[in-house]
Amino acid sequence: MKLVSAVLLALVPCTPAPPGKSTIAASHPLESMEFLLKYLPVAVAEDNGTGDYGHGATQGRVQTVVDGSYSAPNCQLHSAAGSPSTKSGFEAMTANGVGSACSYKSGKTYGTDSKMWKVYANNKVQCCNACVSTDGCAAASFETSNNDHSGGMGPQTWEGFGIHLPDVDAAKTTGGLSVDELMEKYDARFGDFSKFDAFMDYSVTLYTHDLQHYIDMFQTDSVPHFLGEWNDGSGGQWYSMIFKVPKSTYVIELVSQMKPSAASDLPQMEQRMSDDHCTKFSSFTDTAAKTLEIASINRAASDMKTIDDVHTNLYKGSTTLSIDGDVTRRCYKYTNQLDEDVCFTGRTSAAENDSIFSVADHEAMLWAVHAKTLGSNPSSTKDKYTDSHYAQPISSAGLRALKQHFTQNNPYPITKDTRLAYACEQSYIIDPTGFCVQPIGPASWPNCGWDDEVV
């Protein structure tokens, strides 16, 4: 049986570890990706499909640009094709719509009259997909270099952290809010971003050396954002800028030690990164591309006691940041495979915004959808909110503990009151918050078609 077990182990779904990712279910993935490509040093993910369609979904996947790969954007978008001119080292292309490959012309580029803006791309297909996702883009010119890469399935070592926004055709939100309705709740809570809101804890935290670069762009284009300041455990001063990707519920927090020019009397926040990460990033210097480095994936939580129990005793995570008081915050690290934390924050109720839709309401809604779409069937692939997940390496000890828990405490049938479960698709763990985790490693859950021993 050991041979059979080893074969089945190789078939268990897992994800390449190098860059890490955080995915949020989307309904307007191309509009969101257009924003990300325009303002951040990211490129379309290599596995984003043909014409931004693949895996049964319209895809809005980007990956951060790796430091040292490019110093400036290299994919010029055009609002019209016109007649291309000959230029060595360039690839000209015209977009043919979602789901279709571009038409390419090697050694050609388009003129200056129809220029829109430039974005990053690791190859001509990524440049094509950037054009497909951009409203009004008809053509693009890609400048080739020795730094270009292409090929492979899934995240690649030459790609950075993944910011993914898929809209899966067949997935449903039965029993809860649609993605658009949930987005309206976020928008209502955030308002004009003049105040911090608990839903800003549903985010990813990325380090950048030069925060002012992003503040200037956002102020010029009137992109709403929140600015705050905080101290690390040694008293060092840090600054945060938080914004929501348009037409989505994807929230991003950029952190830096560089003081913004308008940093007088900023709201004081609790510590937003572990001391280990603060120490690590304090030694980083500026880059031409203003690159972003992942620090943590974050969730708001209504029951921090359960969160700590699950992530300490089942996931076997180690605590990297612990804060108690009006704000309770715990950050965890599970292995040394990826240097990124997962953080949870509980806050005292803000009555006005909680009357719109509270953290507890958010959790209850996600679990109601899981109950209606998964129900008694862990192999169902109809649950849209399982697309709201992050990928994280979990130790063998953690995977064993989770498997034992699910074997002894069968979460099926899932009900609206369930607060820890699994799904066979991608070996998801459904966290107490209602969000999911895609474990990087040989996860094995009951009744999922394989039964291997995690070693």
pLDDT in tens, 23-40: 999 999 999 999 999 999
Q: In 10 A of CB 308, how many CB atoms? A: 18
Query: Per residue in 157-181, pLDDT tens?
Result: 999 999 999 999 999 999 999 999 9
Contacts of 233 (CB under 8 A, 6+ apart): 271, 275, 278
Residue 198 predicted with pLDDT over 60? yes
How are the residues of the chain apportioned to helix, strand and coil, as percentages rounded to the nearest 5? 25, 30, 45
Residue 4 predicted with pLDDT over 60? no
Alpha-carbon distance of 196 to 189, in angstroms, equals 10
Q: In CATH terms, is domain 191-353 a member of 3.50.50.60?
A: no
SS3 call for 213: helix
Q: Which residue has the higher pLDDT, 2 or 199?
A: 199
SS3 call for 100: coil
Confidence of residue 264 (pLDDT cuts 50, 70, 90): confident
Render 222-270 in DSSP notation, one character per residue: T---EEEEEE-TT--EEEEEEEE-TTS--EEEEEESSPPTT-TTPPB--
Render 192-212 in DSSP notation, one character per residue: TS-S--GGGGSEEEEE-S-HH
Pairing relationship of beta strands 436-440 and 389-393 according to DSSP bridges: parallel
Q: Is 287:67 a contact under the CB 8 Å cutoff?
A: yes
Q: Is 141:102 a contact under the CB 8 Å cutoff?
A: no
Residue 153 predicted with pLDDT over 70? yes
Position 111 scores a pLDDT of: 84
The 10 Å CB-count burial string (b at 16+, else e) for 221-235 is eebebbbbbbebeee
Residue 349 predicted with pLDDT over 60? yes
Count of H helices and E strands in the chain?
10, 22
Pairing relationship of beta strands 203-207 and 251-256 according to DSSP bridges: parallel
Alpha-carbon distance of 23 to 25, in angstroms, equals 7
Query: Per residue in 382-397, pLDDT tens?
Result: 999 999 999 999 999 9
Percent of the chain with pLDDT over 90: 91
Position 451 scores a pLDDT of: 58
Q: Where are the domains of the chain?
A: 26-168, 191-353
Alpha-carbon distance of 370 to 174, in angstroms, equals 9
Query: Per residue in 292-341, pLDDT tens?
Result: 999 999 999 999 999 999 999 999 999 999 999 999 999 999 999 999 99
Q: Is 256:211 a contact under the CB 8 Å cutoff?
A: yes
Confidence of residue 262 (pLDDT cuts 50, 70, 90): confident
Alpha-carbon distance of 92 to 110, in angstroms, equals 7
**Best CA proximity match to 311, nearest among 378, 392, 253:** 392
Q: Is 116:78 a contact under the CB 8 Å cutoff?
A: yes
Confidence of residue 452 (pLDDT cuts 50, 70, 90): low
Alpha-carbon distance of 241 to 143, in angstroms, equals 32
Position 16 scores a pLDDT of: 42
Sign of the torsion angle spanned by Cα atoms 215, 219, 225, 227? positive
Question: How many residues are present in the chain?
Answer: 455
Residue 3 predicted with pLDDT over 60? no
Alpha-carbon distance of 438 to 388, in angstroms, equals 10
Q: Which helix (H) or strand (E) holds 94?
A: strand 85-94
Query: Per residue in 282-292, pLDDT tens?
Result: 999 999 999 99
pTM over 0.75: yes
Mean pLDDT over each residue of the chain, to the nearest integer: 94
Q: Residues 75-96: what's their mean pLDDT? A: 96
Cis? peptide before 413, omega within 30° of 0:
yes
